[in-house]
Amino acid sequence: MVRWNTAAPKRELKSEEALLAAEERQEVSLEVTDIVVNCPVTRSGDGQSLKGVR
């Protein structure tokens, strides 16, 4: 699970390298889960549609 830290600038991360670099800069927090998702996520945890999703 990837969560943006509140003060971090939000942007699209297009590679594992970019994601791990953002973690090192403490822009995101990574949480290991036992869930495997092989598709884009289009809703937030509270059920709201993500910005830009129809």
Structural domain for 17, as ranges:
1-54
Model pLDDT, residue 19:
93
Per-position pLDDT tens, the chain of length 54: 889 998 888 888 888 999 999 999 999 999 988 887 777 767 777 877 777 666
pLDDT (0 to 100) of residue 35 = 80
Compute the distance between CA of residue 44 and CA of residue 23 in angstroms, rounded to an integer.
20
- What is the structure's pLDDT at 53? 65
Question: Alpha helix locations (H) across the chain?
Answer: 16-24
Backbone angles phi, psi at 43, to 5 degrees: -130, 145
Number of domains in the chain: 1
* Residue tagged 């969560």 (tokens): 3
- The answer to whether the Cα torsion of 10, 34, 38, 21 is positive or negative is positive
